[in-house]
Amino acid sequence: MIEYPQDSTIQNVLNKIRLRADAGIIKYQTSMIGNEGDLFYWLKHVQEELMDATNYIERIIQELERIKEEDLRKFQTPDPKKMRFAGVSRLLRKWRT
């Protein structure tokens, strides 16, 4: 097996795969090789995992949209009427002093 000591991204992914495999063996008391499921079993399992992934993606999208809306509210263009009034107020303050 090739080791990737210079690539921390690959190392992190490989470590996560190993941990996930260990968790699966503990949970199911068998490895994937030891599981006698047929092709439909495996396809159904993949389908369920992908549906979970779709839910995770949707949750992330919702959070990013919420953050984007908050950021847009922070940087919205102010009302031009208020801007003109604010400018006049500043000028009056300078004139009075």
pTM (2 d.p.): 0.54
pLDDT digits (tens, 9 = 90+) for 46-80: 999 999 999 999 999 999 998 888 887 777 666 66
Q: What CA–CA distance (Å, rounded) separates 37 from 20?
A: 19
Structure tokens at 19: 């941990």
Please tell me the total number of residues recorded for the chain in this structure: 97
pLDDT at 87 over 80: no
Query: Region 14-33: what's the mean pLDDT?
Result: 92
Residue 35 has a CB neighbour count (10 Å cut-off) of 13
pLDDT at residue number 95: 67
C-beta separation of 11 from 4 below 8 A: yes
The domain segmentation of the chain, as residue ranges, is: 1-36, 37-97
Measured distance CA(66)–CA(70) in Å, rounded: 6
Cα Rg of the chain, angstroms: 28
Amino acid 91: pLDDT: 61
